């Protein structure tokens, strides 16, 4: 149900904000359309079925892409050289070809004429098979939702991450039984900086568990099991960010994850990943998410951990509008835009709760059809666990009052250590109480016209419009370099991963991009719905 407007926002100001966001995003979109990266090319190979790694853990997709790049470059993509080598050489599969390439026993070329046409046809067939697998997993989700039912909003989102996937599984199932609707398996610290995806089930991780295809498969099966037990669908979340964003998005689609952390600037600002690499990788990853029916969660909440949550409130709105534009261009529907924001205002500030309500209601009204993800307080959590529990309850209350869609539960000792299981249980109890006690309080919450909450929301929107105008004129890459978001400066040619960016040559060919660019990402899902049971 679309929430009713309560802030009487100026419709022209909202339209202006979106027009400016589109203008600011256009040069970035053009850059993404005219460049590729090593991870985009490796994602194609994963779609085509290439998996596994050598004895040292280096994936075969890395070996194959690196061999092509070393011999003929990536300006034309990996598809033509790889499938030409398959058609003309002795290797019967991508796996055999990759193993031979790793030993230096394959000579790649850029085929022409009939050889190029044959390679294109073979590559298209392989990419189509991968996309078909993603379509089938999306249809599988829809069937399961029909069988077990979907929990109502707000969905309760809980993090599980022991480092050991076999420990994560029972914890995730226990969390679901206690009321969690979304389980997020956060990644091991530093995985976003690895330019490869680890292989297999992993049992060692620091402050998180490695994102691998096998870990995805294991957790998906476990949550399906508990979904059938509970009679409601439990969603699985992981992270498609960092240097392997396109590949992890592809694996998520193949293993039927439901949400992925996938923000347009988080990796740039907080992981020092090159801005160009990030934006190019992200367009492909979001196209995959659109096709897979995955909800993306964005990371605007992180800006407020480094910047003041009052002074920088408008930068959250600006980033959300940019994320919306980038998401729409990549094919994401509004129902897939899990735009992020957070409850991070200093609780000692007089009127802090009214400010939080103003910000949360503004986001809700700007994006009425988006499944907003509301993040709990972290920056001002202290060793006073009783005050922390109260602050989390106020956060839960704000989420219910303003109709947030996804509430990430706050835990009273979150700012001190990795939360204990008992902390998670108390956090679930807290949010359950507030949600059940308040019921449909959002229907009754009506800020006074021209009162503090309404005036604050209008001011933040006006500041966002002003900032978007400057960004549209000066360029988003320059704004990031100037520290506009999260008070962290990241120059366009700095950071990790720039060496993996390649400008496309005339004749560049990637059959996955060809399919994703030309087909409605949701058409296959609609076709599945029309098939008689």
pLDDT tens figures, 402-457: 999 999 998 877 655 566 778 888 999 999 999 999 988 999 999 999 999 999 99
Out of 210, 239, 266, 508, which one is annotated catalytic? 266
pLDDT tens figures, 257-270: 999 999 878 889 98
Give the end-to-end CA distance of the chain in Å, rounded to a whole number: 28
Decide if pLDDT at 298 tops 60.
Answer: yes
pLDDT tens figures, 218-269: 999 999 999 999 999 999 999 998 999 999 999 999 999 999 999 878 889 9
Residue 212: name the closest of 241, 245, 171, 251 by CA: 251
As given in the structure block, the two tokens for residue 76 are 């034309």
- Residues in a beta bridge with 182: 157, 235
pLDDT tens figures, 178-226: 999 999 998 998 999 999 999 999 999 988 999 999 999 999 999 999 9
Decide if pLDDT at 2 tops 70.
Answer: no
Query: Among this protein's residues, is 379 annotated catalytic?
Result: no
Task: Give whole-number Cα distances, 293 to 404, 405, 416, in Å.
Answer: 20, 17, 36
Percent of the chain with pLDDT over 70: 97
Residue 211: name the closest of 175, 261, 170 by CA: 261
Measured from the Cβ of residue 136, the count of other Cβ atoms closer than 10 Å reads 13
C-alpha span between 292 and 195 (Å, rounded): 23
Q: Is residue 447 within 8 Å of 459, Cβ to Cβ?
A: no
Residue 43: name the closest of 499, 533, 500, 396 by CA: 500
Query: Domain limits of the chain?
Result: 35-128, 154-458
Question: What average pLDDT does the structure give for the chain?
Answer: 94
Query: What pLDDT was estimated at residue 531?
Result: 53
Out of 135, 224, 233, 373, which one is annotated catalytic? 373
Out of 301, 303, 392, 496, which one is annotated catalytic? 301
The listed CATH number (3.40.50.2300, 3.20.20.440, 3.40.190.80, 3.40.630.30) that belongs to domain 154-458:
3.20.20.440
Sequence-distant (≥ 6) Cβ neighbours of residue 440 within 8 angstroms: none
Beta strands (DSSP E) in 334-391 are: 337-338, 340-342, 373-375
Q: Is residue 60 within 8 Å of 51, Cβ to Cβ?
A: yes
């Amino acid at each position: 149900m679309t929430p009713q407007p309560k802030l009487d926002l100026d419709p022209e100001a909202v339209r202006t904000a979106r027009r400016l966001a589109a203008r600011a995003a256009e040069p970035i979109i053009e850059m993404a359309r005219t460049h590729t990266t090593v991870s985009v090319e490796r994602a194609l190979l994963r779609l085509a079925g290439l998996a596994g790694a050598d004895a040292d853990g280096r994936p075969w997709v890395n070996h194959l892409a690196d061999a092509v790049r070393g011999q003929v470059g990536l300006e034309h993509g990996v598809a033509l050289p790889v499938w030409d080598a398959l058609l003309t050489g002795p290797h019967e599969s991508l796996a055999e070809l990759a193993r031979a390439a790793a030993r230096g026993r394959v000579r790649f070329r850029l085929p022409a004429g009939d050889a190029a046409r044959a390679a294109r046809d073979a590559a298209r067939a392989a990419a189509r098979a991968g996309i078909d697998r993603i379509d089938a997993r999306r249809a599988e989700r829809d069937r399961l939702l029909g069988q077990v039912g979907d929990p109502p909003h707000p969905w309760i989102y809980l993090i599980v991450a022991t480092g050991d996937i076999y420990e994560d599984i029972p914890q995730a199932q226990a969390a679901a039984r206690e009321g969690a609707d979304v389980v997020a398996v956060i990644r091991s610290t530093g995985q976003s900086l690895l330019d490869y995806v680890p292989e297999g089930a992993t049992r060692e991780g620091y402050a998180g568990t490695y994102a691998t295809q096998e870990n995805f498969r294991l957790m998906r099966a476990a949550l399906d099991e508990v979904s059938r037990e509970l009679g409601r669908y439990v969603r699985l979340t992981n992270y498609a960010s960092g240097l392997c964003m396109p590949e992890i998005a592809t694996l998520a689609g193949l293993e039927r994850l439901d949400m992925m952390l996938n923000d347009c600037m988080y990796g740039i600002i907080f992981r020092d990943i090159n801005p160009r690499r990030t934006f190019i990788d992200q367009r492909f990853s979001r196209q995959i998410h659109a096709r897979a029916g995955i909800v993306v969660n964005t990371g605007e909440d992180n800006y407020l951990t480094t910047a003041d949550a009052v002074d920088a409130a408008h930068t959250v709105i600006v980033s959300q509008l940019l994320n919306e534009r980038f998401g729409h261009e990549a094919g994401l529907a509004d129902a897939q835009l899990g735009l992020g924001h957070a409850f991070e205002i200093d609780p000692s500030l007089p009127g802090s709760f009214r400010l939080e309500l103003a910000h949360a209601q503004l986001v809700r009204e700007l994006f009425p059809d988006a499944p907003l993800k509301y993040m709990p307080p972290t920056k001002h959590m202290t060793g006073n666990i009783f005050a922390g529990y109260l602050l989390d309850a106020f956060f839960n209350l704000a989420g219910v009052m303003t109709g947030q869609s996804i509430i990430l539960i706050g835990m009273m000792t979150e700012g001190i250590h990795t939360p204990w299981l008992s902390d998670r249980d108390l956090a679930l109890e807290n949010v359950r109480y507030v949600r059940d006690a308040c019921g449909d309080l959002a229907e009754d919450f009506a800020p006074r016209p021209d009162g503090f909450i309404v005036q604050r929301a209008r001011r933040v929107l006006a500041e966002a419009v002003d900032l978007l105008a400057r960004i549209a004129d000066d360029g988003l890459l320059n704004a990031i370099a100037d520290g506009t978001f999260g008070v962290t400066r990241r120059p366009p040619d700095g950071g990790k991963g720039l060496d993996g960016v390649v400008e496309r040559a005339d004749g560049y060919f990637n059959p996955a991009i060809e399919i994703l660019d030309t087909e409605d990402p949701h058409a296959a899902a609609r076709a599945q719905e029309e098939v008689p049971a």
